[in-house]
Amino acid sequence: MPGPLSHIRVLDLGRIMAAPWATQILADLGADVIKIERPGAGDDTRAWGPPFLKAEDGTPTKEAGYFLAVNRGKRSVTLDIAKPEGQAIVKRIAETADVVVENFKAGALAKYGLDAASLRAQKPSLIYCSVTGFGQDGPRRDQAAYDFMIQAMGGLMSVTGERDGAPQKVGVPIVDLMTGMYATVAILAAIANRERTGQGETIDLAMLDVQAGFLANQAMNWLVGGKVPHRAGNRHPNIQPQDVFPAKDGHIVLAVGNDGQFAKLCEAIGRPDWAADPRFMKNQDRVRHEAALTPLLADRFRDFTRAELTALLDAAGVPCGPINSVPDVFADPQVLHRQMLRELPHPLAGRVQQVVNPIRLQDAPLTFETPPPTLGQHTAEVLGELGISDAERAALRDSGVI
């Protein structure tokens, strides 16, 4: 069955992660995504390894795991957009597209006539999404940015890490990922609005804006309470008990979310008196008296193994879980049941594993059949669709345009 976006074509001028994450989501939803890459090198992330995917004979390919994580379902076309011939082809593809996504520095594509103003003048119904570090205006508009520095500048690292330790970044490029998610939401909104009005849209998405936006409760804690949030390790600033706790043979995460769950916790571990203690009866009391509560729970939990404790709390309806490694995650029975890990055919490796999109649509289910492309794998195919002949493609190849 065709995906819900099978009627949409996306011209992907994105690189690295934020923009490609958005276009991969659109591809998963059925869109035809044409990814433009530099001849010879391609997207920077193709070289961001090791590890590299192994060919069927066991030798490493030039396909880095980083690239494979964000480019499933796309068609790769190599074009040198610095050359007039390359620009002309991109414009021809844009004429057939519904959406353009790019993450060049602000204003960088204007000199090629590939900016929003130029392409939307050519096709007013086009939806053009620009992803940058700091946006299309403001004092930092010309500066480059990477996820790590935005985590720092946007306040995330100030609230991540142990209380007395150094600031920490999140273990995945969360700003890139969230920016890609916000870009996807904005594009889908623009598609819906275009169906109503016939008009396209220009979307200006900045990573620093995104990071500021998803400070969420930490930002509101400061705005409402006036107290600057600080690193607190795994301790939740607003809900207790939520933390990492020791067992006999390791650690578990406890995520009590309300007073009823706290009472169930106390009953399950043989300390119902704690739920009646005025210091701990209500969440606001437990937050204020966290320094007293946490050691009590930690001492009690050490009487159980992780398996015993999680089984006990699961049976009582108290949210808890083990701290899994990445291999543990993909061995989890629930993750296996939900088929979050799939194998797709690959032209070099034979098969490539993919962590697939978590969206589940009952009436238009997502399908995962197309692996991340090899560099320029679809150049001839896409140019052929534009009516560019074999002889013309040969000339473009000889001149280094493709």
- Please tell me whether residue 284 adopts helix, strand or coil conformation: helix
State the amino acid at position 98 in one-letter form.
D
R_g of the chain computed on alpha carbons: 25
Instruction: Give the angle subtended at the CA of 160 by the CAs of 157 and 165, to the nearest 5°.
Output: 100
DSSP string, 325-394: -HHHHTT-HHHHHTT-EEEEEETTTEEEEEE------SSS------PPPPTTTTHHHHHHHTT--HHHHH
Q: Which phi-psi region, left, alpha or beta, contains residue 40 (left: φ > 0; alpha: ψ -120 to 50)?
A: left
Instruction: Using the structure block, give the residue that is written with the tokens 């276009």.
Output: 23
Q: Where are the beta strands (DSSP E) in 87-170?
A: 99-102, 127-132
Considering only CA atoms, which of 66, 79, 71 is closest in space to residue 38?
79
State the DSSP H helix or E strand holding residue 95, giving kind and residue range, or none if neither: helix 84-96
Is 176 tagged catalytic? yes
* Residue ranges in 29-173 assigned as alpha helix (H): 65-68, 84-96, 116-122, 147-153
Q: Residue 91 is encoded by which pair of tokens?
A: 């414009």
Instruction: Answer for the pair 292, 310: CB distance below 8 angstroms, yes or no.
Output: no
Q: Among 28, 43, 176, 243, which one carries the catalytic annotation?
A: 176
Q: How far is CA 353 from the centre of its chain?
A: 18
Q: How far is CA 41 from the centre of its chain?
A: 24
Q: Is the peptide bond before 272 cis (omega within 30 degrees of 0)?
A: no
State the amino acid at position 330 in one-letter form.
F
Between the CA of residue 41 and those of 48, 112, 131, 172, 199, what are the distances in Å? Answer: 12, 20, 22, 25, 36
Active centre residues (catalytic): 176
